[in-house]
Amino acid sequence: MLKFESYNELLDVVRELIRQQESLLQETEKERKRREFEELIR
């Protein structure tokens, strides 16, 4: 397991993970909409 120098460092890592997760969710939603649109125009 990773070791952290401080509680603040751990919080920074958690915040970054949350940002990455939010970004991934946004990209997933964009892709889902794009695929739905492509199905409509076929």
Alpha-carbon gap, residue 23 to 19, rounded angstroms: 6
pLDDT digits (tens, 9 = 90+) for 22-31: 999 999 999 9
**Which distant-in-sequence residues (6+ apart) come within 8 Å of 10 by Cβ?**
4
pLDDT digits (tens, 9 = 90+) for 1-42: 667 689 899 999 999 999 999 999 999 999 999 999 999 998
What pLDDT does 1 receive?
60
